Structure 1
Amino acid sequence: MLVKPMIACVGLLASALVVLSQPAAQAAAIPYSNVPDGFARGTTGGAGGQTVTVTNQADLNRYVTASEPYIIRVAGTVNISPKGTELRVASNKTIVGVGLSGQVVGGGFILRAGVSNVIIRNLTIRDTRMPDDDPGDDGYDYDAIQMDTADRIWIDHNRLTRVNDGLIDSRKDNTNLTVSWNHIVDNNKTFGIGWTENVTTRITIHHNWFQNNTTRNPAVDNVAYGHLYNNYLQNIRTSGTHVRGSTKAVIENSYYDGVRDPYYVTDKAELVQRGEIVVNSSWASGRVKSKGSAFNPSSFYSYTLHPAADIPAMLRQYAGPQSGIGL
């Protein structure tokens, strides 16, 4: 299946693309889009606002918390103190790493209720582990990116690694979220979605490399529409993608290598899966791999579906921060 990517809203995004897009020669060869797609399509971030470059925590915090729109370029390593601090991101922001240089170390970001229209792109966010909290990572709620009832969020081309709680926590009633082309690596609690009884969330998760993690890759609870495609799960120790609650989910053309319970469905949830490649992996006895009819993603947006066999090589090259983004 090959569907052309949606190109609506390009004009609205022109200002943001000054710092988000590659030179034309590179853009012709890349397999990914430089505008938000999936359920986050139309997200503009800080478009129309001032472009600023930051190199320290004080400036980063100043601009991410501002009431005005900003395109915030992170150039170099920003060390966060106290350790585990999550900077509160306000609406209408683009936070983008400059090439391969942009890193947030020792902290992360949080989007509280009512925050909308945010892009977090091309960053490395890492290293909030607390040695006294092994093995469960329950004592310190230090996330790389946490969202609580936010709307229209694009998380793209980041490397998220070695934090004390979740690399991504999409909590409560977030919606219209796309998580794409990220390298999500070396963590215990990886990517949790839910913490709500409401079934309103719409989320697209595509072209992400989940590597050397333990659980929640992702865990998808009470999601109205969850579309997961062309993801690569490698060396996952406890569980791959767990679809639960009243979620309706579709998994397409993903690749699983060395994964315990690659994908499965419980509770009242529905899961349609097709086109997967599974190697060196196994399911626990009694796991249900598909159930119900879920929904049709193409009725919401168009998208490009790559063959599952191409995904490992593609994501080793293009997942995580890219040298041509954020310049």
Structure 2
Amino acid sequence: MSTLSGSVTLGEAVSVSGQAEGFAAGVTGGGSSEPQYTSNINKSSLLITATWYTAALKALEVASNKTIISVGESGVIKGKGLSFTNGASNIIIQNIQIDHITTARTGRQHHIFGFQTNTRVTLSNNYIDGDTPYSTGCDRYTYWIFKIEGFDDQITLQNNYIYKTSGRSPALSSSTLLHTVNNIWYLNNGHALEGGNTIIRDYNSRLFDTPDLSTADDCECALSRTCEVNILTGSGSLTSYTNTSFFSDFSDLTIAPATSASKAEKNVPNNAGISKL
């Protein structure tokens, strides 16, 4: 048995901080619904407790039009994950759009997107802590962080700090449109990206394929902003990609803004994760 607990001073505002950028722009979650919180564990135990098998055989299902927010550093879900299935949509998970959360000590796969299509998804400002005693290589590095395999997925990864991983961070398959903006991969002792030649991607302001400055005009036309040049350190040489035909796939989608890679390198590790709102 695990207990999920937290305290809120009566009258204290509990609301979403900021707005989703990228493909999930416009998500409202629970909107103006009255927050459900507790001041007395004896009267409101159903709101803050849950029981499950130690092995976590099933995830906690989250239905549509929901907002889940923790207060401060008290919002910890231990031994269990959240699941959004059966067409669930318009969900905000914040400080425990999926924004400002910290995931840690998993055996594998911090975030999984299944075979069905997952659209208008943004994972932002999250701390993906790969330091784990349960690593497949017995080296405390998590293998396989993001499993992304839906058909025609549309996913934005923005301002995430991805720490101590050994591969598949992410692993892509099918025809995913993945837009990675201002993410930091640090202490990766394996391969950060896995996927085939059919994967569509635009790695802005980060590590993988550094855009040439001459492509700025193409970015401005497709994304309504210039592409920032990536920073890559401690890696072998990478193939230079010059095909920009995938830009058309960004039509009618909301594009996340980007800062310079040097600013992201300084700011993202200090602002990602729980209690950093």
TM-score normalized by the length of structure 2: 0.74
CA drift of 1:177 comes to 0.4
Alignment of 1:89-238 (within 5 A): 89-123=62-96, 154-172=97-115, 173-186=117-130, 187-194=142-149, 196=150, 198=151, 200-238=152-190
1:135 equivalent in structure 2:
none
2:20 equivalent in structure 1:
36
Query: Which digits, 9 at most, give the CA deviation of each residue in 1:261-320, with x for residues without a partner?
Result: x569xxxxxxx986110112225xxx5342521216486225321110111220121111
Q: Is residue 20 of structure 1 aligned with residue 16 of structure 2?
A: yes
In the aligned structure 2, how far is the partner of 1:40 from the partner of 1:279? Answer: 30
1:48 equivalent in structure 2:
32
CA drift of 1:220 comes to 2.5
- Report if aligned partners of 1:253, 1:307 keep a CA contact under 8 Å in 2: yes
CA drift of 1:81 comes to 4.3
- Report if aligned partners of 1:242, 1:263 keep a CA contact under 8 Å in 2: no
2:64 maps to amino acid: S
Query: Which digits, 9 at most, give the CA deviation of each residue in 1:32-60, with x for residues without a partner?
Result: xx111211111111113231126899535
In the aligned structure 2, how far is the partner of 1:79 from the partner of 1:314? Answer: 38
In the aligned structure 2, how far is the partner of 1:60 from the partner of 1:115? Answer: 22
RMSD: 2.8
1:46 maps to amino acid: G
Q: Is residue 282 of structure 1 aligned with residue 248 of structure 2?
A: no
1:20 maps to amino acid: V
In the aligned structure 1, how far is the partner of 2:94 from the partner of 2:51? Answer: 18
- Report if aligned partners of 1:191, 1:218 keep a CA contact under 8 Å in 2: yes
CA drift of 1:80 comes to 5.7
In the aligned structure 2, how far is the partner of 1:158 from the partner of 1:240? Answer: 21
- Which ranges of structure 2 fall in alignment gaps of 5 or more residues? 1-12, 131-141, 211-218, 220-226
1:249 maps to amino acid: R
- Report if aligned partners of 1:181, 1:208 keep a CA contact under 8 Å in 2: yes
In the aligned structure 2, how far is the partner of 1:94 from the partner of 1:176? Answer: 16
Q: Is residue 248 of structure 1 aligned with residue 248 of structure 2?
A: no
Larger radius of gyration: 2
Q: Is residue 82 of structure 1 aligned with residue 54 of structure 2?
A: yes
In the aligned structure 2, how far is the partner of 1:60 from the partner of 1:117? Answer: 23
Query: Which digits, 9 at most, give the CA deviation of each residue in 1:142-168, with x for residues without a partner?
Result: xxxxxxxxxxxx111111111123100
CA drift of 1:188 comes to 2.1
In the aligned structure 2, how far is the partner of 1:214 from the partner of 1:206? Answer: 20
In structure 1, which of residues 303, 311, 314 is the aligned counterpart of residue 256 of structure 2?
303
**Change beyond 3 A, Cα 1:160–1:208:** same
Please give the secondary structure, in 2, of the residue aligned with 1:290: coil
1:300 maps to amino acid: L
**Change beyond 3 A, Cα 1:158–1:223:** farther
**Change beyond 3 A, Cα 1:98–1:217:** same
1:177 maps to amino acid: V
In the aligned structure 1, how far is the partner of 2:233 from the partner of 2:54? Answer: 42
* Structure that is richer in strand per residue: 1
CA drift of 1:117 comes to 1.0
- Which ranges of structure 1 fall in alignment gaps of 5 or more residues? 1-16, 22-33, 62-77, 124-153, 257-261, 265-271
CA drift of 1:225 comes to 2.4
**Change beyond 3 A, Cα 1:98–1:300:** same
* Identity level (%): 25
After superposing the two structures, state which structure 1 stretch, 215-224 or 36-45, moved more: 215-224
TM-score normalized by the length of structure 1: 0.63
